[in-house]
Amino acid sequence: MGFSVSVSHSHGLSSQLSSSSLLAQQLSSSSSKSTLFVGFPFTSYASTLHGKQCRSQPHLVVYSKRVSGLEEALRIRRECELQGTTKFRRRPPLRRGKVSPRLPVPDHIPKPPYLSSNILPEISSEHQIHDAEGIAQMRAACELAARVLDYAGTLVRPSVTTDQIDKVVHEMITEAGAYPSPLGYGGFPKSVCTSVNECMCHGIPDSRQLQDGDIINIDVTVYLNGYHGDTSKTFLCGDVSGPLQRLVTVTEECMEKGIAVCKDGASFKKIGKRISEHAEKYGYGVVERFVGHGVGTVFHSQPIILHHRNGSPGVMVEGQTFTIEPILTLGGIECNTWPDNWTTVTSDGSPAAQFEHTILITRTGAEILTKC
């Protein structure tokens, strides 16, 4: 279960250029073997010659701008992908269903400390680095979360409600002697997050039935013996269209590529770079607002893991645990949050997919803890 951050951008480009400065800029572009041509027609105008009026013919002025072969290939690829995206048939927009009462947790199950308040906890500044005992506890919590998520995925089919999925997840977690971490976190009313179609994340389970062709992200976090294990996956419901299947596949690949760069001493910014490079090949947007996070005895802590290109400082340390959980969209990356203060959907209604693993940094790489 991720959290959101505010991301600001600084643009040092002037919004207007004179035609002469624009031409100079284009003609002075760095040389390359590939050239992109941009042109526009001049407006015709009337003139007088020897007392006779003549009308000039429209002219086409062509400016050339040199771009690298890679830039040109990416531009063409993106145009093709966007053209393919426009053929995607939009599904009816999400509507909130009825939310059932919060499920009880047996008294003997240890509870996380944030349940004492409905206020969203501050992000802990503590980087969670574990000794051998802590790693063993993290493995146990993450293995349970992975098993629960795997079983929850088997429930995904048309006509099943997300509320039914929540009840099964709740029972499976509590029967294992663990607490469902989302329940009561900042006032969240359910034991799991279920985000359907254009919902980026933090969807609240309700009475809405899943429809044939939906995609749904199920985000499971368990609190076992004082440690949180956090994971999520996007599942296909019934007969899902090709564009949506590809979005889901590429999103999982992005997460895997982000994990592949992780090891002791590696910089955190490599994660966002690798994810963005892969997503851009397919023309997908990488959501910037929601990020990965440190996880362990504390649900959400430093480091904040950005999934887009960034210049964030810091390096990974052996024994450290955190999540990588990119969200990709078929359209824009802007989002709106519903009045429930949790459900966040794409502003343009385009579908979104997300995958998440909790990983442990080792000397030579990263161990994925949330694998069955």
* Segment (H or E) for 227: strand 227-236
Going by C-alpha positions, the residue among 251, 294, 254 that lies closest to residue 273 is: 254
Q: What is the largest CA-CA distance in the chain?
A: 103
* 356 labeled part of a ligand binding site: yes
The C-alpha atoms of residue 155 and residue 287 are separated, in whole angstroms, by: 27
* Segment (H or E) for 228: strand 227-236
* 198 labeled part of a ligand binding site: no
* 131 labeled part of a ligand binding site: no
Going by C-alpha positions, the residue among 162, 212, 203, 168 that lies closest to residue 182 is: 203
3-state helix, strand, coil in the chain (%, to 5): 30, 25, 45
Between the alpha carbon of residue 147 and those of residues 153, 220, 227, the distances in Å are: 10, 10, 16
* 307 labeled part of a ligand binding site: no
The C-alpha atoms of residue 207 and residue 194 are separated, in whole angstroms, by: 12
* 230 labeled part of a ligand binding site: yes
* 202 labeled part of a ligand binding site: yes
- Annotated binding-site positions: 202, 219, 230, 293, 300, 325, 356
- Annotated binding-site positions for a divalent metal cation: 219, 230, 293, 325, 356
- Annotated binding-site positions for substrate: 202, 300
